[in-house]
Amino acid sequence: MWTLWGFVALLAAAVQSHITYIEVRLPLEGTPSPPGSPWPLPQVYRPSDKLLEVDPNNFDIRSEAICCDIVDQAIKRYKKLLFPVNKTAESSKTKLKALDVEVEEYEDKAEHCGYPHHKSDEKYKLEIKDDGAAILKSKTVWGALRGLETFSQLLYHDEKAGSFFINATSIEDWPRFSFRGILLDTARHFQPMKVLKQNLDAMSYSKFNVFHWHLVDDQSWPYEMEVFPNLTDAAYHPKQIYTQENLREIIEYARLRGIRVIPEIDTPGHTQAIGKIFPKLLTPCYGEGGKGTSRHPDFAGFEMLNPMQNYTYDVMKEIFNETTRTFPDEYIHLGMDEVYYKCWESSPEIAEFMAKNEMKKVAEVEQHYVRRTLDSVKNLGAKYMIWQDPIDNGVKAAPDTLVGVWKDVYLDSKLLPWQTYMSRIVKHGYQLVLSAPWYLNYISYGEDWKKYYNIDPRDFEATDEDKDLIIGGEACMWGEYVDGTTLISRLWPRAGAVAERLWSSASVVDVESAKFRLDEMRCRMVRRGIPAAPILNGYCGGYDWDL
């Protein structure tokens, strides 16, 4: 692919980004990438050796879809991103004067142009011609966003020449998987608005399209609600909350970048924070001191939402109702993971409830809660995403349910490999989202991004028809040991490995060559204000000393 560029292009790459060996006796494997190499790699990518100059003072991005706020705002953003340094010289090469953006379908509703949906069309075609003409075509604004990002990556600055260049290139591109997510946990540590926006920017640069927002958990409830405004008393601090205005701001920031925001309200476990405000919601456990006492490490005094009382379902219905009204996405994530039974097993009230309802196993108590909650949310007109646990335990969910597969032996030696769970769950006919091998909060020394890159979501035993139920995956950054000081650099560019796996063709598997493009992407992100961590020894052109 790169032979057309020749030696000159490789020299130019050296002034853009550069990685080198760990030991001189261990030279880097793979093929170095030329400057302007895109990440994730497009489906059909035909670069040529015809070089065009782009003059910041005489270049424009044009579109008849400018009445659409998404296109309008994107063009304004990318005009700023394209030229991170000043041009210092002129070349004799053919000039690229403009990029024309054509969108076939878009909404024009008082300058507000839609919200991304489940399985939105993100296809685009990008042609940069020898004669200096460039055109980006897409059916939807979402495809236009992805194409603008690719165009921005093809453009590069040659420090020696002092000019910006782009190669004549033909691209036809679309994602391999429609669901490409990042999960952030803002309950274990509060993540500032600035960090959330930085992450959304980084997601858009890597063509992720779902922000899975794990808003609340045992440790804190930073989510401000109108129906129960006192819930934020369970936040870590009055300043560490997401106000209604903050929520709208993040949703809008994401929308303009083609990113859906799926909120997660996890129950019946992970509910200690809400229990601080509504103590009657939790189940009293029976320790040595009787009702409401702990038996560590088996359980605390009160755990899990109480599944026996209508009060529990009434309160949660109000929370789910407001959440589905606040967040425009058609899906809400209901959690449903890690329901530990020992508290319920200690309770004589639970035993009486089971006998009354002819239940023989405590697992049936969980199933009772899950079924009532799923029905309640469905009656609100929402669709839901859940973790795999209820399906593992025999619960039947709505046909359009999204099931997140998180279990893997790598996370807990008592669990099975994620492939085993995929083979089992896919038989139920639900759409699957894989996250199990992409827990990026697990860190190790060295190039751990390679193990994420080498995962294929379809690599398990099943028929091709069943595997078609896999709609994508998500990289997870759980927040026990990550706060605003570390989240971005720990997540990026490692999450980029997941991005390419979910977007690019299944045949894109050369991890050793990929590292050169990932390093270039990392340097690109640094230039754009994302403090992405290095992946090897080296430097980012002239930007390292400007930080």
Active site residues: 338
DSSP state of 109: B
The stretches of 380-460 forming alpha helices (DSSP H) are: 389-392, 418-425, 449-453
What contacts 355, CB < 8 A, 6 or more positions away?
none
Query: In this structure, is the dihedral angle defined by the CA atoms of residues 353, 354, 355 and 356, taken in order, positive or negative?
Result: positive
Q: Residue 285 and residue 306: Cα distance in Å, rounded?
A: 10
Which DSSP string corresponds to 232-275? GGGSSSTTS-B-HHHHHHHHHHHHTTT-EEEEEEEESSS-HHHH
Of the candidates 293, 304, 289, 300, the residue with the CA atom closest to the CA atom of residue 350: 304
How many Å separate Cα 15 from the centre of its chain?
A: 31
CB 92 within 8 A of CB 167: no
**Exposure string over 415-439, b if 16+ CB within 10 A, otherwise e:** eeebbebbbbbbebebbbbbbbbbb
- The encoded tokens of residue 380 equal 């609100």
Q: Residue 498 and residue 316: Cα distance in Å, rounded?
A: 34
CB 154 within 8 A of CB 517: no
What contacts 220, CB < 8 A, 6 or more positions away?
187, 188, 190, 234, 235, 236, 240, 273
Q: Residue 278 and residue 266: Cα distance in Å, rounded?
A: 16
Which DSSP string corresponds to 12-64? HHHTT-EEE-SSTTSPPPSPPPPTT--SSPPSEEEEEEEEEEE-GGG-EEEEG
- The encoded tokens of residue 465 equal 């028809």
* Measured CA angle at 154 (ends 153, 158), to 5 deg: 100
CA distances from 501 to 29, 380, 439 (A): 20, 35, 15
- The encoded tokens of residue 209 equal 């399209």
